[in-house]
Amino acid sequence: MSNSDRVVLALGGAGTLGSGIVKALLDKGFKVAVISRDSIRLERLQSFVSPNTKNNLTTIVGNVGLEEGAEQAKQALLKAVGKVTDIVSSLGFSWCQGGPPYTQTLKDLQWVIETLLFSTFVSWKAFFPLVRDGSDCTYTFITGGAGVKLLMPGTGFLTVGAASTLAFCQVLQDEYPEVPCKLNQTTPGLATPERIVPGYLNHLDLGQGVAALVERRATSHAVLMVNCPADLKSALLERSL
Ligand X SMILES: NC(=O)c1ccc[n+]([C@@H]2O[C@H](COP(=O)([O-])OP(=O)(O)OC[C@H]3O[C@@H](n4cnc5c(N)ncnc54)[C@H](OP(=O)(O)O)[C@@H]3O)[C@@H](O)[C@H]2O)c1
Nearer to ligand X, 108 or 136 (CB): 108
Nearer to ligand X, 7 or 162 (CB): 162
Stretch that binds ligand X, among 31-39, 46-54, 104-112, 223-231 (CB under 6 A): 31-39
DSSP conformation letters of 57-117: EEEEE--TTSHHHHHHHHHHHHHHHS---EEEE--S-S-----SGGG--HHHHHHHHIIII
What is d(CA 47, CA 57) in angstroms, rounded to the nearest whole number? 11
The verdict on 9 binding ligand X (CB under 6 A) reads no
Give the x-and-dash track for 72-101 against ligand X (CB under 6 A): ------------------xxxxx-------
Q: How many residues bind ligand X (CB under 6 A)?
A: 28
Alpha helices in the chain (DSSP H): 16-27, 39-48, 67-81, 106-113, 119-131, 156-175, 203-216, 229-237
How many CB atoms within 10 Å of residue 81? Answer: 17
Which of 3, 12, 155, 182 binds ligand X (CB under 6 A)? It is 12
The verdict on 162 binding ligand X (CB under 6 A) reads yes
The verdict on 119 binding ligand X (CB under 6 A) reads yes
Stretch that binds ligand X, among 32-40, 131-139, 172-180, 208-216 (CB under 6 A): 32-40
Q: 205-234: which residues touch ligand X (CB under 6 A)?
A: none
3-state class of 239 per DSSP?
coil
- Range 28-45 burial, b when 16+ CB lie within 10 A, else e: bebbbbbbbeeeebbeeb
Question: Cβ 129 to ligand X, closest distance in Å?
Answer: 18
3-state class of 196 per DSSP?
coil
Binding site for ligand X (CB under 6 A): 12, 14-18, 35-38, 41, 63-65, 90-94, 115-116, 119, 142, 144, 162, 188, 190, 192
